Amino acid sequence: MPSPIPGQEDFNQRGKTFRLELLRAMPAGFVDTAASTFALFIAIRVFDLSPLMKGAMISAGSVGLLLSLFIVQIARRLGRPVNRLAALIWVIAAHGFAMAALSEGHGNRYFSGCFIAFTALGMGTPLIAQIYRKHYPDQSRGRLFSFTAMMRASAAGLVAWGVGAWISSRDGAFSPLFWAYAGACLAMAACVTAVAPVVLRRTIQLKWFDAFRHVGGDAPFRKLLKVWMVFGLGNLISWALFVEFISNPVYGFGLDAENVAIISSTVPMVVFIACVVPWGFVFDRLPFYSVRALVNVFFIAGILIFFLGGNWLSLCIGIGLHGVARSGGNILWTLWVTRFADSERVLEYMSVHTFLTGLRGVFAPLIAFTAAEFLTPTWVAWTSASLIFLSTLAILPEIREELTRRKARA
């Protein structure tokens, strides 16, 4: 029976989605610590994997983003709820973590399990964006997303500190941790399955690259993709080396698991928690390009201080500033297509965005680890900062136009 109050059903669905997303944020934050810290730490300290394998492991999530373009087309062809498809993908991730948990003494098996898990986690990203577009209203989407992001970061920060101490005390034993990651993926799948179904209009034919037609017909979207490619390369090159820089003794630090977790996860996540909700309000109220430029300033400052400071304090300050940028960047990365696409096209716009993110994400870690073999981290940091700066210069005309429109409305 339809609700007698206009809009009441949409309001109820919004509240249910928000509650389930808050619940999903806790296991999702736990799983985030695998990609951000512990999987690579174990690869370095326990298995001593090659630079190529370490780079490939970091690139796995980006491989998933590449594949997400085709997941979107499959979702359209099947006409099934995107929730169910996301849940299936996270079940696959759980199997990957289970494989890693069973790999003690076998580096190749560990690498394969992590690669499967991180690839699967990347594949589901556009599907979640479509759920946000369907169930969250335009005027409060940034705020609603920021609260769940804060919960996710809180879980990641607390878990990182506790797990880092646990691994240090267990002398590198990691199997129970990866079983827990597998369980967290199953919990995420259960939460997204309970969300009200989001179904796309079914297509008759399966056209793998059909979403790219929007790139040719939408000039602002096309330019932003180019800008994001330059920015993303800069950020991902430095991101790939954060854990390597502080855990590998060759670079002068050689920190243990507990201290690596504090710097690479706990500090940035605490800052993320403090800043993500304010960034959500900023996203809802300020022009997009101006917010993008402001976030870039924090990224540049964080990268340079982290790699160039040379002491514990500079590591904390640098990664903290990067956490400020990451909190704003997370909102921008997830929601920006909702500003440029109508409801039915959000998933396709997002799939193009995630495909290109995956493309640069595959190559950036390989570039970073190769460069670190021959150049100092100082060169890597300056290269990253320069690319982010160039991407900011590219959107100056749009920023001036935004400011002019705001003055005209004042």
Residue 184: what pLDDT? 92
pLDDT surpasses 60 at 9: no
Residue 14: what pLDDT? 63
pLDDT surpasses 60 at 3: no
Residue 335: what pLDDT? 74
Pick the more confident residue, 337 or 322: 322
What integer best gives the mean pLDDT of the chain? 79
Q: Write down the domain spans for the chain.
A: 8-409
Residue 7: what pLDDT? 45
Which of 201-210, 286-295, 369-378 is predicted least confidently?
201-210
Residue 1: what pLDDT? 40
Residue 210: what pLDDT? 66
Average pLDDT in the 263-290 region?
A: 82
Cα–Cα dist 49/334, whole Å:
32
pLDDT surpasses 70 at 139: no
Whether the model pTM is above 0.75: no
163 in Cβ contact with 38 (< 8 Å): yes
Pick the more confident residue, 33 or 306: 306
Pick the more confident residue, 359 or 385: 385
Pick the more confident residue, 360 or 337: 360
Q: Three-class SS string for the chain?
A: CCCCCCCHHHHHHHHHHHHHHHHHHHHHHHHHHHHHHHHHHHHHHCCCCCHHHHHHHHHHHHHHHHHHHHHHHHHHHHCCCHHHHHHHHHHHHHHHHHHHHCCCCCHHHHHHHHHHHHHHHHHCHHHHHHHHHHHCCHHHHHHHHHHHHHHHHHHHHHHHHHHHHHHHHCCCCCHHHHHHHHHHHHHHHHHHHHCCCCCCCCCCCCCCCHHHHHHHHCHHHHHHHHHHHHHHHHHHHHHHHHHHHHHCHHHCCCCCHHHHHHHHHHHHHHHHHHHHHHHHHHHHHCCHHHHHHHHHHHHHHHHHHHHHCCCHHHHHHHHHHHHHHHHHHHHHHHHCHHHHCCHHHHHHHHHHHHHHHHHHHHHHHHHHHHHHHHCCHHHHHHHHHHHHHHHHHHCHHHHHHHHHHHHHHC
Q: If pLDDT is split at 50, 70 and 90, which confidence band does 4 have? A: very low
Q: If pLDDT is split at 50, 70 and 90, which confidence band does 407 have? A: confident
Which of 46-50, 212-216, 236-240, 305-309 is predicted least confidently?
212-216
Pick the more confident residue, 52 or 205: 52
Q: If pLDDT is split at 50, 70 and 90, which confidence band does 301 have? A: very high
Average pLDDT in the 279-303 region?
A: 87
Average pLDDT in the 385-409 region?
A: 85
Cα–Cα dist 208/72, whole Å:
9
8-409: what fold? Growth Hormone; Chain: A; (1.20.1250)
pLDDT surpasses 80 at 73: no
Which of 6-10, 76-80, 205-209, 228-232 is predicted least confidently?
6-10
Average pLDDT in the 357-383 region?
A: 79
Residue 8: what pLDDT? 44
Q: If you average pLDDT over each of 4-13, 195-204, 272-281, which comes out highest?
A: 272-281
